[in-house]
Amino acid sequence: MTTPLLEARALTMRFGGVTALDALDLVVHEHEILGLLGPNGSGKTTFFNVVTGVYAASMGQVLLDGAEITRCSPQAVYRAGVTRTFQRSRLSLPLTVFDNVAIGQTQHLNPGLVFNLLQRDALRRQFEHTVEQVRTLLQAFSTSMAAKMWQPAGSLSMIDRRRVEICRALISIPRLVLLDEPSAGMTHDETRELMDDILMVRERLSPFTIVIIEHEMGVIQRVTQRCVVLNYGKKIAEGSYEEITHNAEVQVAYLGQEAA
């Protein structure tokens, strides 16, 4: 068997007397799109926060391609090839689209004072290379996005802001992208359009692995190969979309009543 790209082993996260993740075992295979589902408060975003080093796990392990990253800093996890988006927008709206996307490329930029003050030709080449990278990534979504590169991010529509956040997560060429409710605040049509864009960009660039938290079940059904369902921090179901939607325990978790 091949080594999973991401693996959680008995992963536990406690906040005082509250157990947000309860001995969770979860595997993500390379190149797949995994849906992470569950009612509000089930531990989905907490899982993302533990994987990316925002929270230090209380117990258990997180492994990336077999190497432990359980208590790595967010910067170290990023350098290892894991990026993410957030449910609430994290854009700096007064800054340009370029600035917001280029922030995701910090591991390849030289922040040194000597470099920036004295090696001006190298700095210019670095800037020009970054501009081309950002433009190429925006064009992968649409030519109109690339035309907005020097506009303030605050001037964009909600769907374009989401595109910018995803571009920021992709510019470092990650192996694993964690998408936390990318459809939040959008209409059904905008959600469908955004997911089409993500799948198209994934085909054009590289088949990076995705774990997506999403309450829009139509999105989960259309884009995922496999789903994991959490409730109270525990995994209660795993399988295809069809399998988990017919699971009685999943129906109880979502509906709060016994399935007929």
Q: Is it the case that residue 258 has pLDDT exceeding 60? A: no
Given this model, what pLDDT does residue 115 score? 57
Tell me the residue ranges of DSSP E strands in the chain.
6-15, 18-28, 33-37, 59-64, 67-68, 82-84, 176-180, 209-213, 226-231, 234-239
Q: Are 248 and 236 in contact (CB under 8 A)?
A: no
Given this model, what pLDDT does residue 142 score? 83
Mean pLDDT, residues 1-6 taken together: 83
pLDDT for 215-230, tens place per residue? 888 889 999 999 999 9
pLDDT for 45-67, tens place per residue? 999 999 999 999 999 999 999 99
Between 33 and 119, name the one with better pLDDT.
33
Given this model, what pLDDT does residue 259 score? 44
Q: What percent of the chain has pLDDT over 90?
A: 67
DSSP-derived pairing of the beta strands 6-15 and 67-68: unpaired
Given this model, what pLDDT does residue 125 score? 78
pLDDT for 171-211, tens place per residue? 989 999 999 999 888 888 898 899 999 998 888 877 899 99
pLDDT for 129-165, tens place per residue? 889 989 999 998 888 889 999 999 999 999 999 999 9
Given this model, what pLDDT does residue 32 score? 95
Q: Is it the case that residue 118 has pLDDT exceeding 70? A: no
Q: Tell me what the pLDDT averaged over the chain comes to.
A: 90
Given this model, what pLDDT does residue 243 score? 95
User: What is the CA 177 to chain-centroid distance, rounded?
Assistant: 4
pTM metric for this prediction: 0.89
Which amino acid is present at 118? Answer: L
pLDDT band at residue 260 under the 50/70/90 scheme: very low
Buried b (16+ CB within 10 A) or exposed e, 99-134: bbbbebbeeebeeeeeeeeeeeeeeeebeeebeebb
Q: Is it the case that residue 111 has pLDDT exceeding 90? A: no
Given this model, what pLDDT does residue 2 score? 74
User: How open is the CA angle 227-240-231, to the nearest 5 degrees?
Assistant: 40
pLDDT band at residue 110 under the 50/70/90 scheme: low
Distance CA 90, CA 106 (A): 16
Q: Is it the case that residue 114 has pLDDT exceeding 80? A: no
